[in-house]
Amino acid sequence: MRRPLRATAAALALSCLALAGCSTGGVDIDSKWSLAASLEQVPSTAVGSPRFVVAGDLEGAGRAGGFDPHDEKNAQRLLGLDSAVYLPFPELPTRSDPAVVEKLAGFDLLDADRYVANGQGAQPFTVAMGDLGPDTLPDSLKDLGDGVRSDLDGEDGAPNIAREGIDQIGRPIRFAAKKHAIAMSTSTPLVRDWLGDDGPTLADDKALVEVAKALDGEDVFSAILTDPMPMAPDLTATPGSAAQQMEALEKATPATPFDTIGIGWKRGQVVVAYRFAEEPDVAALEAIWRDGTLFTTQSPIADRLTVASVTAKGNVGIVTLDVVEGSSPALAEQMLLTREPVFVTR
């Protein structure tokens, strides 16, 4: 019923959970949304290398933007196309036809209040939270036992030639539900791990938790957590041009290595958090954003994002950026995906 998300989210990615804890009884959706607590919903096995996690609070984004985030008419506002808010949506289920998702799964992501997912990888995994649960999933789903259900028969990851299910290439999608939450994935073990509530989760990853807590302290309503890309020239660069590229990167990247990045979104602002081995040089962080150039367009970053503040909380450096009028808050994710130097480590 809510159709705009799929095509717009996919195009935007190319172009431009409040949880207090989890238990076998269900998920707490009454507490304030927390990125750090959201990590409890993702089994450690769901994330490979590089780590990539997306999470969002639709209710928080709606409050910030002054609109109903569950109304399909407002879907583009959640993508920063005509508003000051932005949510990075996961591959599953937003790259699938929402009409098919709604028909086969009984809900789509706009029906949720919050979500957390592994943003990339061969085995997509998403947890949607809100007024959802076991009764949401229709009886037409196939029962695989142990609380796991599926839209299609077949082995994990095996494409269905007829492409009759939710996945674009016909891989079976597995579902499991708790009170106020539904997990979905192409991997049966992942949804079973989530349902079992007894294995390691991303909340056990110290680096991710430190960055997530820093972003929680800035009251963001959506975020990406990931690993930085290593500093390196283009694979096609000649020895001479490679040396020039490395010289340019030296000037444009943070002065010391960091191991985790967080990008969070607030109304009209982007918050970038870096986890260093020691207390960061905030002046150096401010300089690369204030004076930096987008390598993809050769235009100043400050034409699109301007520095509002730079602070440090322990070994996490936090850069708060104002989105320039006429720009989009989605630019920060685009910069990450295109390996802009501010997201590259030495």
pLDDT of residue 133: 97
Give the separation between CA 324 and CA 193, rounded to whole angstroms: 43
234 and 191 assigned to the same domain: no
Quick one: tokens of 231?
Answer: 């500093």
Give the separation between CA 248 and CA 342, rounded to whole angstroms: 12
185 and 283 assigned to the same domain: no
| Average pLDDT estimate for 336-343 | 94
- State which of 181, 200, 219 marks the end of a domain: 200
Q: What is the pTM of this model?
A: 0.89
| Average pLDDT estimate for 314-328 | 97
State yes or no: pLDDT of 249 exceeds 80. no
Q: Which domain holds residue 238?
A: 228-345
CB contact at 8 A, 232 and 201: no
| Alpha-carbon distances of 261 from 119, 268, 318, rounded to whole Å | 14, 20, 10
3-state helix, strand, coil in the chain (%, to 5): 30, 25, 45
CB atoms within 10 A of CB 339: 16
pLDDT of residue 244: 72
pLDDT of residue 334: 96
Best CA proximity match to 340, nearest among 301, 283, 294:
294
Asked if the structure places residue 44 within a domain, the reply is yes
Structural domains in the chain (count): 2
pLDDT of residue 22: 37
- Which pLDDT band holds residue 207 (cuts at 50, 70, 90)? very high
Any alpha helices (H) in 29-97, and if so which ranges?
35-38, 58-65, 75-78, 91-94
CB contact at 8 A, 19 and 32: no
Q: Give 60-105 pLDDT, tens digit per residue.
A: 999 999 999 999 899 889 998 877 999 999 999 998 988 899 999 9
Give the separation between CA 334 and CA 224, rounded to whole angstroms: 12
Best CA proximity match to 267, nearest among 213, 320, 212:
320
26 and 131 assigned to the same domain: yes
Cis, bond preceding 200 (omega within 30 deg of 0):
no
185 and 94 assigned to the same domain: yes
| Average pLDDT estimate for 134-151 | 97
133 and 23 assigned to the same domain: yes
Asked if the structure places residue 207 within a domain, the reply is no
